[in-house]
Amino acid sequence: MKVLITGSTGLVGSSLVADLRDAGHTVCRLLRPSTAMAASRSSTGFDVTWDPATGALGGAAVGAEAVVNLAGASIADGRWTPERKQLLRLSRVDFTHALVQALSKMAARPRVLVSASAIGYYGDRGAEVLNEQSAPGHDFLSELAGDWEAEAVKAEALGVRVVSARFGVVLARQGGALPKIVRPFQFGVGGKLGSGEQWMSWLALEDAVAILRFVLENGTVRGPLNAVSPQPVRNADFTKCLAKVLHRPALFPAPAFALRLALGEMGPALLLSSQRVVPAYLDKLGYRYLHPELESTLRAAVS
C-alpha cells in the first residue's frame, strides 16, 4: 500500500519508514520545509515538502491508502514556558487539524489515519489500572492529548478509519527517553526519581513500529489504543532493572523537589506522574509482543 507519514524523521517515524519499505510498501514522507533539506540527504524514498499552512497535499497524496501522523515537537526539549506550550500545541493539534483538512480536499481519500497520541491523556492516576475507556486527566498533557485526538477523529466524518495510538515511553538506543535516563547511571549517580512509587508504562521501539503496522493492516481496529507493554512497572523497579543491566549502582535518588526546581512544571508531569496503563485493546485483538519483558528490552537497547 502507499502510506503517507508525518513526523518521519523522529525516533518512531524513521524506524517505521524503514520497516514499511522493507515490507514492500510505498512510503511518502511529508516533510515540513524546515526539515526537508536535511532529511533528503539520507533518503532514497519518495519525499514531499508540505507546509501545513498552505493546506492541500496535491499530487503527493494521490493513490495513498493510509496516513500515519507522528508529527509533534519533543515534549522534553525545554522548560514549559508559555511559548513552549504553544509550540507543543501547534505541532500536534494545529498540525493534525491541517492534515485532516487536507484529506478532506482529496477526491480519493485514504482508508485509514493512524494518529499518535500519548498516555499523558490519563493524567497522574497513582496505582489505578488504566485502559482505553478510562477517563482523561485534567493537566496540561491530558488536555493536549485530548485536543490532539479530537482533531484526528474529525477524519471519521470523511469516511476514514481513525486510530489514536496512545504511546507510553518508547525505549530505544537510538534516541527518545532512554539515553537520557541511562546517562546518570554511566557516571555512577543513577537512582529512582522522587519516591519511585510512580508507575511507568513503556514500550520497545520494535513493538511501537510493529503495532503501527498491525493497526494499518487490520481494518477492524479503530478508536483509542494504548501502545504500551503489558507489564508496566514502578519507577523504583525500572531503576533497579536498568542498574542491573548496566552493572551500575542505583544509589542516588533524585528528590522530587529538586526535579520541580530544575524543570518546573515539566518535571512532575514527565518524571513524577504515575500512569499504570494496560493495552486492553491490543490484548483483545491478539497482538503478540516482540519484547513484552522489561529486562530483555533494556538489554537489547543498551547492548
Give 138-189 pLDDT, tens digit per residue: 999 999 999 999 999 999 999 999 999 999 999 999 888 898 889 888 888 8
pLDDT of residue 36: 53
Position 124 pLDDT exceeds 60: yes
- 108 torsion bin: left (phi>0), alpha (psi -120 to 50), beta (else): beta
- Range with the poorest average pLDDT among 94-103, 123-132, 262-271: 262-271
pLDDT of residue 255: 77
CA 218, 221, 222, 227 torsion-angle sign: negative
Cell numbers at 215, concatenated? 493497526
pLDDT of residue 37: 47
Chain position carrying cell 508496566: 232
pLDDT of residue 39: 52
- Higher-confidence residue: 269 or 192? 192
Position 97 pLDDT exceeds 80: yes
CB-CB neighbours of 127 under 10 Å? 10
How confident is the model over 234-290, as pLDDT tens digits? 999 999 999 999 999 887 788 786 777 777 887 777 888 999 999 999 999 999 999
| C-alpha–C-alpha distance, residues 123 and 48, integer Å | 36
253 within 8 A of 235, measured Cβ to Cβ: no
168 within 8 A of 227, measured Cβ to Cβ: yes
Could you tell me the pTM of the whole model? 0.93
Angle, vertex CA 197, rays to CA 298 and CA 230, nearest 5: 45
67 within 8 A of 114, measured Cβ to Cβ: yes
- 58 torsion bin: left (phi>0), alpha (psi -120 to 50), beta (else): left
- What would the mean pLDDT of 82-111 be, rounded to a whole number? 94
pLDDT of residue 196: 94
Q: Which residues pair with 271 in a beta bridge?
A: none
Position 49 pLDDT exceeds 70: yes
The DSSP code sequence of 234-268 is EHHHHHHHHHHHHT------B-HHHHHHHHTTHHI
Position 228 pLDDT exceeds 70: yes
Q: Which residues of 198-226 are buried (b: 16+ CB within 10 A; e: fewer)?
A: bbbbbbbbbbbbbbbbbbbeeeebbebbb
Q: What are phi and psi of 56, to 5 degrees?
A: -60, 145
Burial class (CB in 10 A: 0-12, 13-18, 19+), 287: buried
The amino acid sitting at 175 is G
How confident is the model over 22-47, as pLDDT tens digits? 999 999 999 877 665 445 544 445 78
pLDDT of residue 251: 78
Name 239's Cβ contacts closer than 8 Å, sequence gap at least 6: 190, 191, 192, 193, 196, 250
- 157 torsion bin: left (phi>0), alpha (psi -120 to 50), beta (else): alpha
| C-alpha–C-alpha distance, residues 116 and 166, integer Å | 6
Confidence of residue 55 (pLDDT cuts 50, 70, 90): confident
| C-alpha–C-alpha distance, residues 144 and 113, integer Å | 19
The structural domains of the chain, ordered by start, are 2-171+202-228+277-290 (3.40.50.720)
